[in-house]
Structure 1
Amino acid sequence: MDRPPKVPQSVLVVVHTSALDVLLLERTDAPGFWQSVTGAKDTPEEPWEQTAVREVAEETGIDARAVGCALIDWGLENVYAIYPRWRHRYASGVTHNTERVFGLCVPPGTAVRLAPREHTAYLWLPWREAADRCFSPSNAEAILWLPRYLRRG
């Protein structure tokens, strides 16, 4: 059975500690592509926060609502062209995605359990190194914004 087309609305969740160590994940379908948690809404009506909580749990095993965790909607949206290699996942003619940015502060030492179909490895890196490692310009930019968003909280 074919999968329904992906909704061209997704979340980017920068998972980090208060010391600004950032979690990066290596994609299974693109070795060497490191990123934060990302994922599309299941339906256009799914609330952004629900998508963020679900994607973090699916990709890392982290419960974004657990004691000691703080999920913050940064109120930022990026609109970007979907990479041609992944356009087949969307309805015909869809070329752009809207991405809502969140930060998730977790306690140091938070365990990570990867979804093996999505990611092969993970690292915790200081924020500047994490930004340099990301393949996605919007992901790198979000990580570079991290210290400013922590000061707001």
Structure 2
Amino acid sequence: MVALETLVYLAVGLLVMMIAYFIIDLLIPVDFPKEITDGNKAVGWVSAGIYASLGFIIRSAIISFEVSEAHDLLHGVISTVEFAGIGVVALMIGYFIVDLVNTRFNFGVELGKKNEAAGIMIFGIFMGVAFIVSGVIQ
């Protein structure tokens, strides 16, 4: 049963991460695939922050739900997807609030200019929000 649970949560986790990454890519005004192909380290930091923060949130959702039967596995997967969705919304809220409050520069513009410091800052925002969300889940 543990092997099945591992494979199911791995598949669900990866799928959720890819979908969430796509959604966040649509909302942040930078073409992630193009910028990464061009070697934009700032966008690389943001991408790493997205995947790391989502992984942390998904991990917290998984360990907060104890699986003992196949029926529980389905509920655990549903719970994981729900918390991941909340996590994506929370990440975007954190991003937009900090970008709005910070009047000295615009994240989207700075990422386009390959400002690595801005990418690292966004990475930190995403990880900070992930710590908060995971704390609520557990």
TM-score, normalization by structure 1? 0.26
Q: Which has the higher strand share?
A: 1
TM-score, normalization by structure 2? 0.27
Select the structure of larger CA radius of gyration.
2
